[in-house]
């Protein structure tokens, strides 16, 4: 008897929730040219928690529908995401202004419907390391001792976690504002430390902050 061909099991169909999440990601990338944050998926689709989003993203990844980069919030890679970044290989989305003094509104709320891109010199961040990186213009002088001045452009990689001392964009949830500071977790509070000896740190409850990216490069204003 001739040997039977190996049977290929049909791939299980996606659930309605998984199709909804995948469709949302594709639509978001079409509009913005960068992937949504996990919390953004949760809020926009009315999902009960970010853990439910992560669970379904893991299933989509297992089925080859997308790829994820570790614990990076916006580290979601699907064909349309990759195409968007390849089309802008030396560019990153510019999302508005962030303060280096007092907090400003969320830069995502300030951005217009049409995403603007800016060129990034390879000596600042190489083109092959620009995935999930975005740009914000700095307003203020609280990070001047870290050589970040008013008018400079900071490049941030999307992530929702930080190590002690990382320079990050932090959203203060209670007043829906974002500020650029060094991050220090101290018990049940977070210290947002300016790099300016004339300014005091900001202390916020740990559950009242959301990290929106870590600084990976600076483009100086002329």
* Same domain, residue pair 114 and 162: yes
Mean pLDDT for 140-144 is 89
Residue where one domain finishes, among candidates 28, 52, 83: 83
Provide the H-helix boundaries in the chain.
16-32, 38-45, 50-62, 79-87, 107-110
pLDDT of residue 17 exceeding 80: yes
Classify residue 65: in a domain, yes or no.
yes
- Express as a percent the part of the chain with pLDDT over 70: 73
| pLDDT band at residue 6 using 50, 70 and 90 as cut-offs | very low
Residues 50-86 pLDDT 10s: 888 888 888 887 777 777 765 555 556 554 444 444 5
**Per residue in 176-198, pLDDT tens?**
788 899 999 999 999 999 999 99
pLDDT at 3: 38
Q: Are residues 105 and 180 in the same domain?
A: yes
- Does residue 143 lie within any of the structural domains? yes
Mean pLDDT of the chain: 77
Q: Which residue has the higher pLDDT, 108 or 130?
A: 130
For residue 4, being part of any structural domain is answered with no
In sign, the C-alpha dihedral spanning 52, 58, 63, 67 is positive
Tell whether 92 and 55 lie within a shared domain: no
Segment 124-131 shows an average pLDDT of: 74
What pLDDT does 115 receive? 61
Are 77 and 95 found together in one domain?
A: no
Give the total number of structural domains in the chain. 2
Residue 181 and residue 137 share a domain: yes
- pLDDT value of residue 218: 92
Q: What is the pLDDT of residue 99?
A: 65
134 with 197, same domain: the answer is yes
108 & 136 share domain: yes
On the question of pLDDT at 142 being above 50, the answer is yes
Question: Do residues 132 and 191 share a domain?
Answer: yes
The structure tokens listed for 55 are 């669970």
In the chain, which ranges are E strands? 67-68, 76-77, 91-99, 104-105, 116-119, 133-139, 153-157, 167-172, 177-186, 189-193, 202-205, 209-219
Under the banding of pLDDT at 50, 70 and 90, the label for residue 220 is confident
Active site residues: 142, 181
CA distance 103 to 60: 37
Residues 72, 112 within the same domain: no
Q: Per-residue confidence at 94, pLDDT binned at 50, 70, 90?
A: confident
Which of 83, 106, 121 marks a domain boundary? 83
Instruction: Confirm whether pTM is higher than 0.85.
Output: no
**Is the model's pLDDT at 125 over the cut of 50?**
yes
Looking at residue 167, its pLDDT comes to: 94
- Domain residue limits at 59: 16-83
Residue with tokens 């740009």: 135
Q: Give the CATH number for residue 131.
A: 2.10.109.10
Stronger pLDDT, 31 or 40, i.e. the higher one: 40
Which has the closest alpha carbon to 211: 144, 150, 151, 163?
A: 163
The pLDDT of residue 207 is above 60 = yes
* 3-state secondary structure at position 149: coil
């Amino acid at each position: 008897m001739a040997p039977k061909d190996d049977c290929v099991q049909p791939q299980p169909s996606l659930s309605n929730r998984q199709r909804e999440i995948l469709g949302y990601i594709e639509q978001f990338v079409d509009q913005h040219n960068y992937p949504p944050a996990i919390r953004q998926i949760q809020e926009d689709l009315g999902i009960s928690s970010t853990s439910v989003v992560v669970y379904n993203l893991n299933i989509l990844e297992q089925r080859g529908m997308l790829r994820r980069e570790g614990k990076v919030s916006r580290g979601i890679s699907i064909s349309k995401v990759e195409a968007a970044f390849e089309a802008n290989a030396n560019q990153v989305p510019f999302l508005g202004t962030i303060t280096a003094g007092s907090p400003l509104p969320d830069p995502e709320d300030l951005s217009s419907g049409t995403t603007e891109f800016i060129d990034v010199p390879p000596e600042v961040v190489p083109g092959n390391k620009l995935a999930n990186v975005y740009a914000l213009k700095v307003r203020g002088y609280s990070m001047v001792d870290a050589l970040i001045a008013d008018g400079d452009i900071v490049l941030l990689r999307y992530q929702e976690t930080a190590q002690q001392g990382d320079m990050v964009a932090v959203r203060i949830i209670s007043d829906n504002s974002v500020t650029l500071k060094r991050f220090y977790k101290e018990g049940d509070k977070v210290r947002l430390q300016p790099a300016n000896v004339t300014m005091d740190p900001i202390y916020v409850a740990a559950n009242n902050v959301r990290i929106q990216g870590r600084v990976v490069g600076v483009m100086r204003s002329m």
